[in-house]
Chains A and B, each alone.
Chain A
Amino acid sequence: DIVMTQSPDSLAVSLGERATINCKSSQNLLYSSNNKNYFAWYQQKPGQPPKLLMYWASTRESGVPDRFSGSGSGTDFTLTISSLQPEDVAVYYCQQYYSIPLTFGGGTKVEIK
């Protein structure tokens, strides 16, 4: 099974400042035949289901603000919120969809400092 490891577990960022979340995969998620990373980011607010933010590591889902960006390839990935807003307080999860079982990272809680 592919293990997804997120860091940090939590972070507090001032409004308008940058937040950076990392995720490391135990196996390469880049599929050579199409040069795509089978990797996604989700946002989950309290009492709500997760919401897809990014897929293919760096493609923003429709409707997601452009302050969210994803980067990385292979085994190391990053989600960046360029200017933290109050509505971004949530837990963020990474996920690999390269192989079954599909697996998630443990989550990173983002709060306002």
Chain B
Amino acid sequence: EVQLVESGGGLVQPGGSLRLSCAASGFTFTDMWMSWVRQAPGKGLEWVANIKQDGSERYYVDSVKGRFTISRDNAKNSLFLQMNSLRGEDTAVYYCARSQRNSEYHPFDSWGQGTLVTVSS
């Protein structure tokens, strides 16, 4: 069974940093592109970033470029999101999501339960 378990969310002040983690199991992690998708309270879904199987390609939504960094540790089946210079508009539940096949141009067929990030003073 595919499992994605996020951790690392919490309350942080504007301008602060946070590192999210996603532990993956139940599939061959090194076969899949992985993404972070967020959802602000009561709002819709927004794709944040994704990363290729070997980490050689990474893409971001414009609003987080230069502030967020996606990475992965294939030896530990883990995905990460380093978030710096956080703003109020970054407040959201952050989901770890797996691409359905081995390219970035596929939908997300597995999602974690999410971790809440709240940016507030």
Interface residue SS majority, chain A: loop
* A50 and B106 in contact, given A102-B47, A104-B44 (Cβ under 8 angstroms): no
Nearest Cβ on chain B to A10's Cβ, whole angstroms:
13
CB neighbors of A among B89-121 (8 A): 95, 100, 104-109, 111-114
Q: How large is the interface on A (under 10, 10 to 19, 20 to 34, 35 or more residues)?
A: 20 to 34
Kindly state the separation between the CA atoms of A106 and B46 in the bound complex, as whole angstroms. 10
Q: Is the CB of A49 within 8 A of B111?
A: yes
Q: How large is the interface on B (under 10, 10 to 19, 20 to 34, 35 or more residues)?
A: 20 to 34
Residue of B59, B60, B62, B105 with most chain A CB atoms under a 10 A cut-off: B105
Q: Is the CB of B105 within 8 A of A98?
A: yes
- A–B Cβ pairs within 8 angstroms, 7 of them: A49-B111, A49-B112, A55-B107, A61-B109, A95-B45, A95-B107, A101-B60
Q: Which 3 pairs show the lowest CB-CB distances between chains A and B? A: A49-B111, A40-B107, A102-B47
Chain B interfacial positions (CB closer than 8 Å to A):
35, 44-47, 50, 59-62, 95, 100, 104-109, 111-114
